Structure 1
């Protein structure tokens, strides 16, 4: 039996330049401390006016390493995040450190020890966030990534999280998230971020290949195809992973390295594919949340529109002049398209109107409000129902223009209570209730409003005796279907009104009977207006 000997390997770090003006060396093994600044006495001299003489310092702390800001004027960034003045932060392999115009990647090295299993020369170790075998590193990184990306609030944050974790675990020198926007491919996020003086472009053919839904890789000495300019170092390796949503590549994770000596992880494709799949799930969730927010905002707008519409309605029951009335309006889609109004005009006369706007929803509701406002404004200047209806018709013909029309029953009741004159513009839904008998009115009628600007309208007389009523209703009342699929119809409505003795009774009885027939609330706008002379 062979017993395994466990040995703890102390990890040293190396600083590898990945961007910025050229320096004497491209890699520096970190000492304790490792000072960075403009002064020649530093372990790493950075000759730039924006770098302080003693800018930063890397030091050992317990079992790891830290980077310390030494009160620099312009500060330092670690993984894209600025450190506060004189602050410290933990350093790990794979981190990206920015000082002035330079960017450095943190690599791990095994310390030089002559014990069993050690090498005489420093050995470069591909470590992501943890020290251990690659599978353990992948698991730790994926778990951290899954938690971070699930908490992403928007697409920009999602892209940053994806790029940072891909850079840490893929072995590539640069990670870029590309987004598809209206047929174009744009850069959403890149880690490490390029300096303003640098130029970069992706390989269009590689992205197009990944656009089919498969991971695509490229190893070539040729520069990327298309674009404006390229980096001085030609890309040697690149990989593109699609982020699929509903069978379409919505975005891409694009990884590339300019140097053949860049870190290589054999399972990088599998790892990056897992990152992309988790990103797709998070992106789908973001889209779902956005749809929910839009739906909630739309619902709130509809509720506000419904409140405004309610304010335009007259009281549910009242006595105006010589007219007693009661009404009930049920909007089928939150905002109704039925027109109903009762109001007094000069001379003690009372105007009663009920109509139906073609279509449904918010558009019909807006036309309804327009019709109601026009009628009130028209009767404020002219008491002739024919002239007011003709003017309204011309207005609708000029304004709607989308095939929308309005049916309307409009009556003007005299102050004596003897009766009224009414115009029926294609509505036709009116019943006369007298001594238990319910009969439909049979007007001459005219065409609906909003169809022909030259249409002619006529006023017809209606005489109501004591105890008699007229019930106006919209087509949503009689077209409501029951459990057997049959519409309620005029017969069902007439039967429910036989015992009605007053406008409020008529509306209550009819609405109750309609509910019993349908079993549910009406799907369409359903409106009733009962009128009687006092």
Structure 2
């Protein structure tokens, strides 16, 4: 499994002139976009849900996940499946509500962009050509169109598709120059997917007027004609454009680009049915682009699913079963990842005939990075208990390991305990965790007084102190992570400790403790996909 962290942050470059500032997403942090004010990216747009989408690095790959938003999230004009991560590439366009963002990593950018000239003289006409005004195609060019459609269908990627479209358009219209263009919002800056002037393909050198592109509307082909008796604009005179034509490329009812052609001084004229042929080719291109985008997204999601399946299977092998026994202890647990794999730590195992080791912890962050650190800490805990059954010694060893081997922004809260079955005492170190309760036989949850210690991974000189509890017969220990009490509902209200205690009150078994809490939390959040890694364990001791 590839476990590398991304080398660059994710940049969300706003499009559509929304006035939104650029956003930079930290690889070590899950970035949530939504309408809620506590979102990392807050968009005050009624078409954006409170928690709309999340950007996260999973296994070294940047991903986006739609968080069951009301109006959906689109990646390259393709709607995302809710709660299913999709990988992001440089140049991708993410659309949420009225906002659109182009994806960039670090300083990377797309080089196939041309800023066009907006000037146009009054003597130069730009007209929309409606469908009923177009002439019918000749039999020869209809045959050419059918043959070209087959070539377009065989294109395996965007570049092959664009090349095929440009060549087909030139052959069928008589125009000596053509380009397949793409843009987002207003065509102030366009990407040349492919271009040709009968001398070969070029993706970097192509000139045209923005006036033609700006006039595009869904369903309307645009023509530019020049009145040769009048003085043309500087740009048109410089380029020597006699006539130009552009048909819109439409995906999901939005103009995402254009099929552009022009004739310049001294070049041959176009066919009389050029507008009809150009419009037909543009429609073919639109369908083919949409199909490629959907295939590309499906391929990305499949590859990501395979990576995540490996990660999930690996973590499942590390964590103990969801219920079972360890020496004199019986337990039920639920470890629910906030993304795909969890950064929460849980383990329970017998040290010897009289002692059982227990630990629950929470690594900062989300996703693969936190899960990898969780795996390392889990291994260190096991190794430390092999040398000492003192929870203080284990906490010291884990702290030294995390300080030395993890990034400065990664640390963990830990609860490490040892149950002595002979004396029914619980010796524990609470290293900045604090999330645990005792459940007496009468079913009234108790919050024990304890001193606690600092979290692990901050400084090597940290001091950890063990504390001791005497457990009554049939008294249960409930450990949980902050993902439970910090889970918000649709109004932004947190679940909190009081609701947790209420969900535990009156329970009579470890299974009830866990199941009732998870059910109550799910009802409160109106979803089974929680905002953070969520864990709860209930343990009883014989």
* TM-score, shorter chain, exceeding 0.5: yes
Whole-Å separation in 2 of the counterparts to 1:240 and 1:381: 79
Whole-Å separation in 2 of the counterparts to 1:161 and 1:427: 61
Residues 147 and 517 (structure 1), Cα distance of their counterparts in 2 relative to 1, 3 Å cut: same
What corresponds to 2:465 in structure 1?
Answer: 458
Contact map agreement 2:170 2:178 (CA 8 A) in 1: yes
Contact map agreement 1:210 1:216 (CA 8 A) in 2: yes
Residue number among 147, 161, 164 corresponding to 1:161 in the alignment: 164
Q: Provide Cα deviations, 1:188-221, integer angstroms capped at 9, x if missing partner.
A: 5869786xxxx9999644488878788779999x
Q: Say if 2:470 is the partner of 1:467.
A: no
Contact map agreement 1:236 1:259 (CA 8 A) in 2: no
Q: Say if 2:507 is the partner of 1:507.
A: no
Q: Say if 2:532 is the partner of 1:529.
A: no
The Cα of 1:446 is off from its aligned counterpart by 1.8
SS in 2 for 1:439: coil
Whole-Å separation in 2 of the counterparts to 1:299 and 1:202: 36
The Cα of 1:364 is off from its aligned counterpart by 2.6
SS in 2 for 1:332: coil
Whole-Å separation in 2 of the counterparts to 1:202 and 1:342: 61
Greater Rg by CA: 1
Whole-Å separation in 2 of the counterparts to 1:150 and 1:200: 22
SS in 1 for 2:407: coil
What corresponds to 2:328 in structure 1?
Answer: 322
Structure 2 counterparts to residues 406-425 of structure 1, below 5 A: 406-425=412-431
Whole-Å separation in 2 of the counterparts to 1:133 and 1:244: 21
The Cα of 1:178 is off from its aligned counterpart by 8.3
Greater mean deviation of Cα atoms: 185-194 or 369-378: 185-194
What corresponds to 1:67 in structure 2?
Answer: none
Q: Provide Cα deviations, 1:331-373, integer angstroms capped at 9, x if missing partner.
A: 2323222211112335753210111222333333222222212
Residues 298 and 188 (structure 1), Cα distance of their counterparts in 2 relative to 1, 3 Å cut: same
Structure 2 counterparts to residues 118-129 of structure 1, below 5 A: none
Structure 2 counterparts to residues 482-493 of structure 1, below 5 A: 486-493=493-500
What corresponds to 2:296 in structure 1?
Answer: 290
Q: How many residues align?
A: 383
Residues 307 and 294 (structure 1), Cα distance of their counterparts in 2 relative to 1, 3 Å cut: same
What corresponds to 2:440 in structure 1?
Answer: 434
Residues 381 and 517 (structure 1), Cα distance of their counterparts in 2 relative to 1, 3 Å cut: same
Structure 2 counterparts to residues 28-427 of structure 1, below 5 A: 137=140, 141-142=144-145, 145=148, 149=152, 152-172=155-175, 204-206=206-208, 262=268, 264-268=270-274, 271-272=277-278, 274-276=280-282, 278-345=284-351, 348-401=354-407, 403-427=409-433
RMSD between superposed Cα atoms in Å: 4.3
TM-score by length of 1: 0.59
Whole-Å separation in 2 of the counterparts to 1:152 and 1:467: 69
The Cα of 1:423 is off from its aligned counterpart by 0.8
Residue number among 464, 475, 484 corresponding to 1:477 in the alignment: 484
- Name stretches of at least 5 consecutive residues in structure 1 with no aligned partner: 1-131, 221-234
TM-score by length of 2: 0.58
The Cα of 1:471 is off from its aligned counterpart by 0.8
Q: Provide Cα deviations, 1:353-401, integer angstroms capped at 9, x if missing partner.
A: 1112223333332222222122112222333322322232233334442
What corresponds to 2:59 in structure 1?
Answer: none
Whole-Å separation in 2 of the counterparts to 1:327 and 1:265: 74
Contact map agreement 1:213 1:248 (CA 8 A) in 2: no
Residues 170 and 511 (structure 1), Cα distance of their counterparts in 2 relative to 1, 3 Å cut: closer
Q: Which structure would you say has the larger RCO, counting Cα contacts within 8 Å and 6 or more residues apart?
A: 2
SS in 1 for 2:445: strand
Residues 174 and 450 (structure 1), Cα distance of their counterparts in 2 relative to 1, 3 Å cut: same
Residues 288 and 430 (structure 1), Cα distance of their counterparts in 2 relative to 1, 3 Å cut: same
SS in 1 for 2:366: coil
Whole-Å separation in 2 of the counterparts to 1:417 and 1:245: 75
Residues 400 and 212 (structure 1), Cα distance of their counterparts in 2 relative to 1, 3 Å cut: farther
Contact map agreement 2:157 2:292 (CA 8 A) in 1: yes
Residues 527 and 157 (structure 1), Cα distance of their counterparts in 2 relative to 1, 3 Å cut: same
Greater mean deviation of Cα atoms: 480-489 or 275-284: 480-489
SS in 2 for 1:381: coil
Residues 133 and 332 (structure 1), Cα distance of their counterparts in 2 relative to 1, 3 Å cut: closer
Whole-Å separation in 1 of the counterparts to 2:391 and 2:383: 12
Whole-Å separation in 1 of the counterparts to 2:203 and 2:506: 82
- Name stretches of at least 5 consecutive residues in structure 2 with no aligned partner: 1-134, 184-188, 217-222, 229-239
Whole-Å separation in 2 of the counterparts to 1:243 and 1:493: 56
